[in-house]
Structure 1
Amino acid sequence: MVLGSDLRRGNGRGVATAAVLFLAAALTACSDESGGGETDPPIPSVEQSTSAEPSPTAPADVAAAEREVRENWEKFFDPAVAQKDKTAVLENGDRMTQVLDSFSGDQRGRQVKAVVEKVEFTSPADANVTYSLTLEGATALPGASGTAVEQDGTWKVSVKTLCALVQLSGNESPGPGC
């Protein structure tokens, strides 16, 4: 699927371009001086666990865990949320501040949000998350894959997910922690 291919909302090409520019500009602080070479950035995808049947070791309260994953995921990708609150819902957030600062630092980022479409638990502390990034309400990055982890009693966006988004910008070395 092509970024911003949801043309039903109108101005899909402009939205996709803005989203790509936002991600690239927001991550410039972590750029690799040696250059990239990729022409078409891939949709961020984190290796997900596969299981033919639901895990018998899913969280005790699946509905509550799913609700927390959705809330924290959307909080993490909400540009109106303070950096310290984002750090609290990012796996190892206290060690990921440089990458998070770069990811969240662009003014255009104030228009990008995430919509969680699906949460599938693979263990009591791990979940696969399917989500889309929107820009001004239009889908800019549909059907992206990520993971959530339960850490210190809280469901958080995984470092693997953040690093995959950072690498989407073509950055070979996104910073400490990735």
Structure 2
Amino acid sequence: MTPAPRGPVALLAAAALLLTAACGSGDDGGDEKTTTPSATTGTADTGTPDRSPTSRSPRPTATAPDDPDRAEDEIRKAWRGFFDPDLPVEEKTALVEDGIQYELMIQGFAEDKRAGELRVRVDSVDFTSSRDADVGYTLLRGDETIRPEKPGESVRQDDDWKISFRTLCSLADRGEDVPKPVAC
């Protein structure tokens, strides 16, 4: 067996390595704005210090957004806002992925007596990409845990972190008369 010519093959391999290194430059396409990390990081949404290991802020990784502390803060605010009984439906719609398309469902959830009593505690936020996060959350009614920590999702859409539509669908069963679109 005759060895293959090494000159052109080695040159092509080196070019492929350089191209691969250039593509993996670390730019995740995230928001280039910079802000100071939130002072609320490390506390649960109930306002009391949370010393559980799941409440630690995410650390920047190849899959995290440019500013994971700010992103986590935005995710927690979106979740709290969605469950805030005083927040108008129009504002809740802006907190959900493609929310305007599902405004009827969001309105039903907001007006449902049983669903309106729910509050949320975000227990953990783990970024799976610069635009997606797994959210561990607990549903509460008063001091009673309704749904122990459950996985949910947040997505970055139009430069804002929102509750994923798939998560909204899973929350619909928490109300008595919340209409579910066919997409659920």
- Mapping of 1:80-91 within 5 angstroms? 80-91=86-97
RMSD (CA atoms): 2.4
Query: What's the TM-score once normalised by structure 1's chain length?
Result: 0.63
What is the match of residue 105 of structure 2? 99
Stretches of structure 2 lacking an aligned partner (at least 5 in a row): 1-59
Query: What's the TM-score once normalised by structure 2's chain length?
Result: 0.61
Match 1:148 to one of 143, 154, 161: 154
Cα distance in 1 for residues equivalent to 2:169 and 2:157: 18
Aligned-residue sequence identity (percent) comes to 37
Cα distance in 1 for residues equivalent to 2:142 and 2:176: 24
Pick closer, same or farther for the CA change 1:169–1:72 going to 2, 3 Å.
closer
Stretches of structure 1 lacking an aligned partner (at least 5 in a row): 1-53
The question of whether the paired residues in 2 share the 8 Å contact of 1:80 and 1:110 is answered with no
Which runs of at least 4 in structure 1 moved beyond 6 Å after TM superposition? 168-171
Q: Residue 120 in 1 paired to residue 123 in 2?
A: no
Count residues with an aligned counterpart: 125
Pick closer, same or farther for the CA change 1:166–1:109 going to 2, 3 Å.
closer
Rg larger in structure: 2
Q: Residue 71 in 1 paired to residue 77 in 2?
A: yes
Question: Which deviates more from structure 2 when the two are superposed, residues 126-135 or residues 72-81?
Answer: 72-81
State the 1:100 CA deviation. 1.2
The one-letter amino acid of 2:158's match is D
State the 1:114 CA deviation. 0.7
Cα distance in 1 for residues equivalent to 2:144 and 2:86: 18
